[in-house]
Structure 1
Amino acid sequence: MSQSSPALSLPYIQPSQSQKHVTHNEALRILDAVTQLSVLGYENSAPPASPAQGERHIVADSGSSGWAGHGGDIAVFGAAGWDFFTPSNGWRADVIATGAQLRFDGTTWALVEAPTQNLSGVGIATTSDATNRLAVASEATLLTHDGHGHQLKINKASATDTNSLLFQTGWSGRAEMGTTGSDDFAIKASADGSTFRTALSVQAGTAALHTPQGQIYFDDMFITNDTVHSFDIPWSDPARMLLWLGIDLPGHSYLFSMTGALTGASNFMAMFVNPASTLNFQTGALTGTTGPAAAINLAIETGGATPRMHIENRLGTDQTFTLSTLGK
């Protein structure tokens, strides 16, 4: 009959053995030392100054002092001092202070890395779900280089699918950039998370730049007859700005440019006016009846903290106006 167990080398009680309690207690001592193994430390070479009974450590590879010659062993402090147990391949230990897991590979103890391949989801300080398989709740997320640079890759299966970055307010979309529904790159904005308007797009085949919306200075602005609508101009040098002015009258459409440092009427140039002679350019503030009648009169007022544009309705009827840029 074998004298000890094959895995933990627990001593067996032999037939006709006297003082069987000695063998039994030795087996319990070994079980107590290595079963449900949790250790206070695993990187120290020398024992602590005042260990407690039952305290367990994994000796660093180069043991010293009372641990000399026991690198990698499990050191357990008992009534008679330190006892040492040699681990077998595959033994594991929990580090009490950190919860880290250690595994003995037959030569050394190493930290066990959690499996990271083909996970169903990862939530960092929040919970992932079937759609958002990676979810992060944090003030910031850092993606940095390993080498000289770093690429963030977003792939889609076909051109009609969506690749985008979506910016939300209260979980409702407000801006989106990417390739949505085609391979053209677009930047879009929304006020309600439902209707998105394209502010800028770049064609995939030609890299041609389009600004479908331009910059709308006002949309559906109602101006009564012989009154003025005024607004601050957000630039002092328009640098070849094309603007479109539309009103709610069939056949009325206006395209004009603004160039140079703003001074007055000389900054305007008509590109298209229909009907003819219904768009006039002025300098200074307008009152509602400053410019010619039966026309729309535009003016730049300077001298204040911010240049202002005035639009005077002298068409004879109340009208709804829209003014937007076509490029800059």
Structure 2
Amino acid sequence: MTLPADHPSLPPARIGVLIVNLGTPDAPTPGAVRRYLAEFLSDRRVVELPALLWQPILRGPILMTRPAKSAHAYRQVWREDGSPLAAITRAQARALAAALPDVIVDHAMRYGSPAIAERLEAMRAQGCDRILIAPLYPQYCAATTATANDAAFAALSTMRWQPAIRTLPPYHDDPAYIAALAASIEAGLAALDFVPEALVASFHGMPQRTLERGDPYHCHCQKTARLLQEALGRPVTIAFQSRFGRARWLGPATDATLAALAATGTRRVAVVAPGFSADCLETLEEIAIRGRATFIEAGGTDFAYLPCLNDDPAGIEMLRIVLARQLAGWLTPP
């Protein structure tokens, strides 16, 4: 028997936005990091090696040694309200809920908690019959954007009553994104007590084979850097961080770039991370702490890391614009 649309047991139809970020351990401890890394590095989109070859390496030397080192790194940036990525993503969801009052906004992590499947089910229970899945990666990559969408569609496959779904396209060259980045960087530079001679844009690294297999990530990063350079009216040096393993990675490497800049006479540098929507271990520990040490040890004198857009008003307004565009036709015109 089909219930009428106004049957009291049916929740009112709502529109939802689920913002998604990479994920984080639940605590800065080796055990929590081990659980997180086991899930993250078992994703075939992240490590594109045959499982029979990769899993013994992962379960052996990597998960035996890496969790303790990573836990130490997490402890250096952990906040009272949790990991920076988790805390900032929660704040982004709250701010977007206020900016999009006709929409239910929730957040999830691809790895760890809150899980994508859990939050989709919760949104469905709240009456969301249309949901925009929004991985907050400006530049598309199969290892980030695609795997977040994979997890969402896997969750949908278990639902009897599926909501309609849209996914957020990459916004690496969106004018609103470039303008927000440029304004944030200009404000950050103006607040420094020194004038940087070089501005480095550090993007998360990916294996070189991802480019060779057709992933657009490298091209998206290059275009973001070019547009940012034009908006700022100053040179931007592009680099890639977070190398892992022995495979050839996209380059030049951020740590090598910082060392080379100092070694060739650059004494003052600022670094931004335009590929990250929220500050996290990779920006706050790898760049702001270790990147600084690399630059100073190589002969530099002044180093600044400029924060991501995070939940700053300009960053939230940019996300509102980008999300509202994808919600067109779902939201009732004012």
Please give the range of the TM-score, normalised by the shorter of the 2 chains.
under 0.3
The structure with the larger Rg is 1
**Structure-2-length-normalised TM-score:** 0.19
Higher relative contact order (CA 8 A, sep 6+): 2
The structure richer in strand per residue is 1
**Structure-1-length-normalised TM-score:** 0.19
The structure richer in helix per residue is 2
